[in-house]
Amino acid sequence: MIDRRGALRLGGGAVLAGGVLRAIDQGLIIPRDRPGLAAWDDWNRHRHSGPLALVSAAILAASPHNTQPWRFAIGRYGVDIFEVPERALGAMDPFGRERLLGLGAAVHTMALASTGIDRRAAVSLLPDAANPLHVAMIELGPEGQRTVPHPLLPAIGRRHTDRGPYRGGAVVDRALATLAGAARSDAVRIALFAADSARGRRFGALTIDATAAIAADDAMMAASHAWFRHSRRDQDRLMDGLSVATSGVSPWLAAAAAILPEQSAASEGRYWLDATRDSAVPTASLFGLILVPDLADRRATLLAGAAWQRLHLLATALGLSAQPLNQLPEMIDRQRQLRQPPGYARAVDALLDDPAWRPTFAFRIGHPLSPPGASPRRPVSMVIGQPARLAYDVGRAGAETRAQEAALARRLQKQAR
Ligand SMILES: Cc1cc2nc3c(=O)[nH]c(=O)nc-3n(C[C@H](O)[C@H](O)[C@H](O)COP(=O)(O)O)c2cc1C
């Protein structure tokens, strides 16, 4: 018969064996390739050329909870990007506003990448009134035009959301001016506040408050949890979502957490609140908002996403760290969805020079303590969709052929005279 102590010993052995098995499963004991990280290498090593290079850059863009809500159609004359509404964040993003911000970020990286393939690009946002999911069309000029590679191209493969503690201290004025200039469109404004200013302190307090509200909202936390990839198997298979590895904890703690049983949505909420209150807010140098006149305007939202992408790339190039802190805009949407009094929308008025401009994106910037890791991406081959460009390409090839025929006819006429 096994006594109590023996049973405990056996139980402890089972827990230990379970931990070892989990450690092997999570790739901690026998190192394995991480297929979700190959996309970074593909871009950094220029493995794709022509229009595919644009997609290779686009998939590295930021997206809410790393949902990667995009599909691309490639043609000889360019690339189209489509929204995939099924890759959604539910109660966390009830109007799909954040999804569109991520798509705007992807469009911006494509525009930048076009400067590296020697073809001029023209970007049209929402080009097809009959198909609102057609987010942007990027038309490429003929091959062989000399373009000057954009100085931010190398930052595309180095930009990572840094959720860890920062070093503190101010951001120098020259860097501030560079960051403030990231909007590049009259449809979008950027407001920056030093973390130790009155507005900075108010931003921090409101963000902590909004985090507590989200952590207490079961539907929001369930939506967030659905994009959390705890097991290494899911990370390698799905190549999207969030994980402990990019949550801002040290690599040692991330390895330890990977051995523990899967966290619940509620414990993720508690961790998020603690990290926001004790680390993200107190160690930031700068807070900021990206503002638009109308939160429901799809074009302005795309441009705001592009502004965030540019801002984060500029921060990366300046050696600064950045993290979106979107709890406030998320709670503004959530209160609207639930038809509750707009408490968070009114509270942010105190942060704005002109309350007619509304915050669609919130973030922090600071000096890094340790380099943030890359998060997974589905590779180019997995995000190329239906040949939706075909009709457009055929039309454009037809127009080009007709123009060449007309030029030939004119030349023949001239020769005949
Ligand atoms: C619209 C939008 C909202 C986001 N909100 C948050 C946020 O509130 N907190 C956070 O840590 N990251 C946030 N992110 C960052 C994404 O989680 C991140 O871009 C994604 O996981 C991919 O990781 P990467 O940026 O390191 O490539 C947001 C990104 C976008 C585009």
User: Is 9 inside any structural domain?
Assistant: no
Q: Which atom of ligand 1 is nearest to the CA of 308?
A: 31
pLDDT at 7: 44
Q: Which two tokens stand for residue 391?
A: 């009709």
In a domain, 1, yes or no: no
d(CA 11, CA 282): 42
DSSP 129-163: TT-TTEEEEEEE--TT---PPPTTHHHHTT-----
Q: What is the pLDDT of residues 278-303, one digit of tens each?
A: 999 999 999 999 999 999 999 999 99
Tokens (6 digits) for 281: 């807010």
CA 286 from chain centre, in angstroms, equals: 20
Q: What are phi and psi of 121, to 5 degrees?
A: -120, 140
> Once rounded to an integer, what is the mean pLDDT over residues 218-233?
94
The CATH number covering residue 68 comes to 3.40.109.10
Mean pLDDT (the chain) is 91
**Owning domain of residue 174:** 35-383
246 Cα nearest atom in ligand 1 = 26
Q: Give, in order, the Cα–Cα distances in Å from 172 to each of 153, 166, 318.
A: 23, 16, 11
Lowest-pLDDT range of 27-36, 220-229, 243-252: 27-36
Span 56-95, pLDDT tens digits: 999 999 999 999 999 999 988 899 999 999 999 999 999 9
- Asked if pLDDT for residue 4 goes beyond 60, the answer is no
In angstroms, the CA 9 to CA 196 distance is 53
Nearest-CA residue for ligand 1 atom 3 is 64
The band of 31, judged by pLDDT with boundaries at 50, 70 and 90, is low
Quote the tokens at residue 24. Answer: 């092997």
Of 96, 108, 161, 87, the closest CA to residue 324 belongs to 161
Give the span between the Cα atoms of 332 and 29, in whole angstroms.
Answer: 44
The number of folded domains in the chain is 1
Kindly state whether residue 412 falls inside one of the protein's structural domains.
no
pLDDT at 2: 40
Domain presence at residue 275:
yes
Quote the CA–CA distance of 206 and 198 in Å, as a whole number.
12
Contact of 92 with 67, CB cutoff 8 Å: no
Burial status of residue 105 (CB atoms within 10 A of its CB: 0-12, 13-18, 19 or more)? buried
User: What DSSP letter does each residue of 261-303 carry, written as one string?
Assistant: PPPPHHHHHHHHHHHIIIIIHHH-SEEEEEEES-TT-HHHHHH
pLDDT number for residue 131: 87
Q: Decide if 321 is inside a domain.
A: yes
What atom in ligand 1 is closest to the CA of residue 374?
26
Local confidence band at 12 (pLDDT 50, 70, 90 cut-offs) = low
89 falls within a domain? yes
| Beta strand ranges found along 18-144 (DSSP E) | 70-75, 78-83, 121-125, 134-140
Q: CA dihedral in degrees (395, 398, 402, 403; nearest 10)?
A: 70
Burial 42-62 (b: 16+ CB within 10 A, else e): bbeeeebeebbbbbbbbbbbb
261 pLDDT above the threshold of 90? no
Q: How far is the CA of 156 from the centre of ligand 1 (A)?
A: 15
| Residue 108: predicted pLDDT | 98
Mean pLDDT of 353-360: 96
Q: How would you class 332 by CB atoms within 10 Å of its CB: exposed for 0-12, middle for 13-18, buried for 19 or more? A: buried
Tell me if 58 is assigned to some domain: yes
Cα-to-centroid distance, 324 and ligand 1 (Å): 6
| Contact predicate 248/110, CB 8 Å | no
Contact present, 236 and 35 (Cβ < 8 Å): yes
Ligand 1 pocket: which of 60, 63, 246 to mutate (most atoms within 8 A of CB): 63
Contact 281, 250 (CB under 8 A): no
User: Ligand 1 pocket: which residues have CB below 6 Å?
Assistant: 62-66, 98, 101-102, 105, 160-161, 163, 242, 323-326, 375
Please report whether residue 101 resides in a domain: yes
**Ligand 1 atom 13: the closest Cα is on which residue?**
324
Cα-based torsion angle of the residue sequence 157, 162, 166, 169 in order, rounded to the nearest 10 degrees:
60
